[in-house]
Structure 1
Amino acid sequence: MPAVTTKFNEDDTLDMEMFEVNIKAQLDAGVSGIILGGTLGKASTLTGEEKQQLIRETVKMVAGAVPVIINIAEQTTKAAIEAARVAKECGARGLMILPPMRYKANDYETVTYVKAIANSTDLPIMIYNNPVDYGIEVTLDMFEEMLECKNIEAVKESTRDISNITRIKARFGDRLKVFTGVDTLGMESILMGADGWVAGLVCAFPAETCTIYELSKVGKMAEALEIYRWFLPILELDINPQLAQNIKMAEVATGIGTEHVRAPRLPLIGAERERVAKIISDGLAKRPNLPAYKGLSMA
């Protein structure tokens, strides 16, 4: 599932034309869902009206082919519950939930916050567990409490501790689906039993990401690894504070995005821009031919 970037025009309005170009590329590649308003989607800088527009128009674009999921990243429980209500009204088929923003809630507060949102809606929920970037880790004991809510079904596992996948699976089995949320651990996470991949560089390279995922899921490891080794230098652009700028540069290079970001983020300049541009251009120069990857089954 791509955590898609939000596209902007030069005047800072939403660029829905280029956004649709990107969504079409994702669907053509065979993604299984679209996630809006995550870290890459600039959840913290979008207005409520913009989020509604994104949900409604994305739902029209996908036309039922895959579920549209919106990230909930709010400062208050009241606002989060309202965001969940509006999401369903606009046609979203699932929610991804971050812990409270800005305030570093303790374990009890975080669990209470998530359960309040879950109990307010019947939409299925993925918990976004990213203590590296957001400062709050959802522990296994916290998940134990949260899973009293039947509609909490999955976790976007972004702790960067790959052994956490095994811990989650050992404790909860299939009750909690695990999606890796770190591009540089994508293939490794699938091999460790992750059910899916919420990806970032898929925004620029949808077919390559889907190929690695599909080959890995059916045990074609050598073929998947060859592509993954080519992809890794580009995937490392995802684990960086300027990941949105990096990935937007990659989207421009592959013809399915623009570089416009919302301030205070700004396009990269100077030596860092040159470094990222070289990684992308080197990757494109060696871009692999992809095998048929749709509809594969275990050998």
Structure 2
Amino acid sequence: MSQTTWRGVFPAATTQFDAGYAVDLDATQSVVNMLVEDGVHGVIAMGTVGENNSLRAEEKRQVLAAVVEAVSGRVPVVTGVSELTTELASEYIRDAQSIGADGAMVLPAMVYVPSEAELEAHFRLVAAASDLPIMLYNNPPAYRVSLSIESLQRLADVPTLRTIKESAPDSRRITDILNACGDRYQVFAGLDDIALEGLLLGAEGWVSGLTNAFPRESIALWDAVQAGRLDEARAIYRWFMPLLHLDADHDLVQSIKLSEAVMGRGSERVRMPRMELSGQRRADVIRMVETARDTRPSLIAAE
């Protein structure tokens, strides 16, 4: 079974909005371009952090086209596929291939909590709608359904299902997947505050939220692990951890976009029903980001 060439740090890029909360394609291209210039290995367009489900159908196509244009083949562009129905997800992944995406990160159908058979059927039908390599997204806390090891084994006959973004908060899942499925699937760490554990256990990449604010530090963590410099990796991870915990909170999108804004990389605007952070929570996140900015490990070059 052929694998993708996806490896490394793939930020779940933000979708930018203007003052009237319309999609700002120029600003979205700007944040994506900065990430690529900072050395990320791939880009996830319109994942959770990219507010996929806050976008209208035509906006999703426009954002994806803008991201593909901005990246211009420098790194893979993987688009989130997050829809209410299997039919809509199939339509979107077909369009994504035509627009020029390099792959798709496919989520369970939104809102409805499927049975195991329904979840497998959803993934099979969406995969059949295009030739794109697919990253399955397992995030039980957010989507109230877990992609079981048994389901992964049954889905192994679908050739375009290549990668698993594992966002269960239990790092044991990665070893269980590798033990059960061997090298059939690539595994990516999908939750920022167990990223190092995931990479040490065999994950070949990291889909990250806080990379939007601190891309060079995220890449330094990846590089240290790949080179076996574990003391360095632990030092970066311990410095980073207060911020990485934000990725596991219910307001992760607002927190990540605020972090991005504090670092001068984007706007904190989010679409309703999300609202920008306020009060003590906003002050706490700003303090955390500023502390991280001002106390970066000496091994990370200043920007």
> Partner amino acid for 2:25?
M
Please give the alpha-carbon distance, in whole angstroms, between the structure 1 residues aligned to 2:135 and 2:225: 23
Q: Which residue of 2 aligns with 1:296?
A: none
Q: Which residue in 2 is equivalent to 1:280? A: 289
Q: Does 1:222 align with 2:231?
A: yes
Q: 2:128 aligns with which of 102, 119, 122?
A: 119
Cα RMSD (Å) of the superposition? 1.2
Unaligned runs of 5+ in 1: 293-299
Q: 2:28 aligns with which of 13, 19, 31?
A: 19
- 1:5 corresponding residue in structure 2: 14
Instruction: Give unpaired runs (5+ residues) of structure 2.
Output: 1-9
1:71 is aligned to 80
Q: State the shift of 1:172 in Å.
A: 1.4
Aligned-residue offset at 1:291: 4.7
Tell whether 2:47 aligns with 1:52: no
Q: Distance in 1 between matches of 2:226 and 2:111?
A: 37
1:295 corresponds in structure 2 to none
Per the alignment, residue 160 of structure 1 pairs with 169
Taking the aligned partners of 2:32 and 2:176, their CA distance within structure 1 comes to 34
Q: CA deviation at 1:13?
A: 1.1
The residue aligned with 2:255 is 246
Q: How many residues align?
A: 292
CA distance in 1, matches of 2:171, 2:196: 11
Mapped partners of 2:225, 2:135: distance in 1 = 23
Say whether the 8 Å CA contact 1:25–1:206 is kept in structure 2.
no
8 A Cα contact 2:139 2:167, kept in partner? yes
Q: Answer whether contact 1:4 1:41 (CA < 8 A) is retained.
A: yes
Identity between Structure 1 and Structure 2 (%): 38
Corresponding residue number in structure 1 for 2:193? 184
Q: Say which SS state the counterpart of residue 147 (structure 1) adopts.
A: helix
Deviation string 1:152-180 (CA, Å, 9 cap, x unpaired) is: 00000011110110011111122100001
| C-alpha displacement of 1:187 | 0.9
Q: Do the aligned partners of residues 62 and 78 (structure 1) sit closer, same or farther apart at CA in structure 2, a change above 3 Å counting?
A: same
| 2:211 aligned with 1:207 | no
Maintained 8 Å contact 2:91/2:129: no
Displacement of 1:48 in angstroms is: 1.2
Q: TM-score normalised to the size of structure 2?
A: 0.94
Amino acid at match of 2:43: I
8 Å CA contact 1:18–1:256 kept in 2: the answer is no
8 Å contact kept, 2:217–2:300: no
Q: Equivalents in 1 of 2:206, 2:21: separation in Å?
A: 30
Measure the CA separation in 1 of the matches of 2:254 and 2:12: 14
